[in-house]
Amino acid sequence: MSFRVSPLWWPVLALSSPVLLPGLFIKNRRFNRNVKKALALNEERIKKAGKLELPELTQFELSVLVEQKAEQGFLSSPGVSYLIKTDQGSLLFDLGYGPETPVLASNAEKIGFSMDQVDAVVISHLHPDHMGGFKAVRKNQVTLPWEFEGHSDRPCFLPARASANGFKVELVKAPGMLSAGIASTGPLARGLFLMGWTEEQAIVARIKDKGLVVFTGCGHPTIETIIKMVRSLSDEPIYAIGGGLHFPVTDSPLRKPGLKVQMIWGTGKPPWKKITEKDLERTIKFLNVIQPKHVFLSAHDTCDYSINRFKNDLKSETTVLRAGGFYKI
């Protein structure tokens, strides 16, 4: 049997229970309030959203700098960083763990990437695997590897308040255009039990003769909510969906000693409840109803079991993203 928390931790948890249990009780009350607040706020934001004049792009190319799966010769990490190039420019979507691992800098060097190549940086949400590491979260500061530093005057689009040394911070408050002909859904909320209130933005582009491309970081607000917002922004068909969907049903790509981290943190459920097969099946059914032609899955927050379920059960052409991979969409 596989445990989210190793039995080696159980004596520690038992000894700390006089402090732990009251803390969990307080957190659970706050969590339940945040769940209701996020649902109401997202509905309000979606209702207020108007149609966006999305430019018709003829090019949308994705180079993966950081992912849990990797091509031969590239490093892997349970984080996300994507370089997106269009006929109107380019942007860097998320930074993985930034300087806390060699992955972003090493893979960038292998594909010949430098910050000179991008017009902007977009951060999906302020979690360590997207904004540059655990220290970045503690400092509330988007953080690049030192190899990328020295490139100021570029905007960094954030869904919540944080600093970003070397960038012009642009706080995204509502759906709108970012850079390179790509739009943001605006922040969508999710109340997470241990990680607290989370605002996440997804990116949207319109491809000529195809339709909309939607990319998420983790999809914490749920892909259902994200697509509902996208439907408010454009009547174009959804051609492709990519990025994280956060389904660590049987395992966690991120491990710490004795802990399957993603099965406990960031699930949108209390730590004593799991993401279930039923949750997974509901999302598969939803994606099959909207029928994107392509789905590009991130494995950074989703276990191999769920990845295989998506690959086998989705009607869409399904690809698992890999660091070092290049994808024309």
Q: Determine, yes or no, domain membership for 1.
A: no
- CB contact set of 132 (below 8 Å; sequence gap of 6+): 95, 96, 97, 98, 99, 100, 141, 142, 143, 144
Angle at 234 (CA atoms; ends 229, 237), nearest 5 degrees: 100
Indicate which CATH number applies to the domain containing 21.
Answer: 3.60.15.10
Do the domain assignments include residue 2? no
199 is in which domain, residue-wise?
Answer: 7-328
222 within domain boundaries = yes
The count of other CB atoms within 10 Å of the CB of residue 254 is: 20
How many separate domains does the chain show? 1
Per-residue pLDDT of the chain (329 residues; tens, 9 = 90+): 467 766 666 675 566 667 666 766 677 788 889 999 999 999 999 999 999 999 999 999 999 999 999 999 999 999 999 999 999 999 999 999 999 999 999 999 999 998 989 999 999 999 999 999 999 999 999 999 888 766 667 899 999 999 998 899 999 999 999 999 999 999 999 999 888 999 999 999 999 999 999 999 999 999 999 999 999 999 999 999 999 999 999 998 888 777 788 888 878 888 888 999 999 999 999 999 999 999 999 999 999 999 999 999 999 999 999 999 999 99
